[in-house]
Amino acid sequence: MVAPVCFEMLDGRTLAVHCAGDWLVRHGMPSVDEAARRLADQPAPTRVTIQAPDLGRWDASLVSYVAGLEALCRTRKLVFDKAELPLGVQRLVDLALAVPEKAGTRRAEAGKPLLVSVGEAALGAWKGFENTITFIGEATLSFVRLLVRRPSATPPPRRW
């Protein structure tokens, strides 16, 4: 059960993000993509506020969601208000966004696992072997046709 998130335009310029219930990693995390779609709607909001009057238990999933939402707002140069969140969440989000991300620490940037690399190399070698055998077979058949004088290509026209 993913934590519930609702969106509401308050005054035509403010997008309110309502966070309610328990925000626990084991229940799943909502994506910031829906908020990004709402920010692209017309008229585009100039301010985003998080409201959490019915917030239950929370862990890193809430911190991660709020940090992602604030980062999204920063890239779009929108005012972001998280004052209604618990003080612990506010501090953890500030801490998460204050430290610049180290290069090469994302999983997407990490190299492929060893087994994947070995498998891809083996498949590539097999494909190369197949291509070599196909070439040798076709060359052999062409040579035999040449000896038997039955070339598969049409002979050139004779000039008299």
> Are 87 and 116 members of one domain?
no
> Are 87 and 127 members of one domain?
no
Q: Is the pTM of this model over 0.85?
A: no
Running along the chain, 160 residues long, what does each successive block of 10 average in pLDDT?
Answer: 80 88 85 87 87 88 91 91 91 86 64 87 93 93 81 63
> Are 55 and 132 members of one domain?
no
Domain range for 119: 111-160
Q: Please indicate, yes or no, if residue 104 is contained in any of the structural domains.
A: no
* Bridge partners, residue 55, by sequence: 21
- Cα gap 84→96, rounded to integer Å: 18
> Are 10 and 79 members of one domain?
yes
